[in-house]
Amino acid sequence: MSLLLDSLAWLLMIFGLLFFITGALGLIRFPDIYSRLHAVTKTDTLGLGLLAAGLAIKSESVSTALLLLFIWLLVLASGAVSCQLLARYSLESDPAATGISEHIPGESDDR
């Protein structure tokens, strides 16, 4: 049982790290701010979530697991909000630089 849990934790963490690597790659390689934001926010949400889940299993303590969950939720929400802020700001200040200048996404069809 403990071996099973342990390998599950490692699996989750390795998957999380893979997301971090792809996010970093995307940040370096993608051409414009929107695709970069797309790459980086995956790291914040899924990568950190998987990492926190793995760490929570390894910690074997409910309070630590809850703390990790809380941290993940905080980073998740602030990541999403700041990503939207950056994208909005860049869209408003330079709409001509993108191919989507006609349409500034409203609150309903974001994400």
Binding site for another protein (CB under 8 A): 74, 77-78, 81, 84-85, 88-89, 107
Distance CA 42, CA 21 (A): 11
**68, 86, 78: which is closest to 44 by C-alpha?**
78
Q: How far is the CB of 85 from another protein (least distance, A)?
A: 6
Could you tell me where the DSSP H helices lie in 30-61?
A: 33-42, 48-59
For another protein, the closer CB: 74 or 97:
74
For another protein, the closer CB: 29 or 88:
88
Q: How far is the CB of 11 from another protein (least distance, A)?
A: 21
Q: How far is the CB of 81 from another protein (least distance, A)?
A: 5
> What is the helix (H) or strand (E) element at residue 83, kind and residue range?
helix 62-93
Sign of the torsion formed by the C-alpha atoms of 6, 7, 8 and 12: positive
> What is the helix (H) or strand (E) element at residue 27, kind and residue range?
helix 2-29
Q: How far is the CB of 107 from another protein (least distance, A)?
A: 6
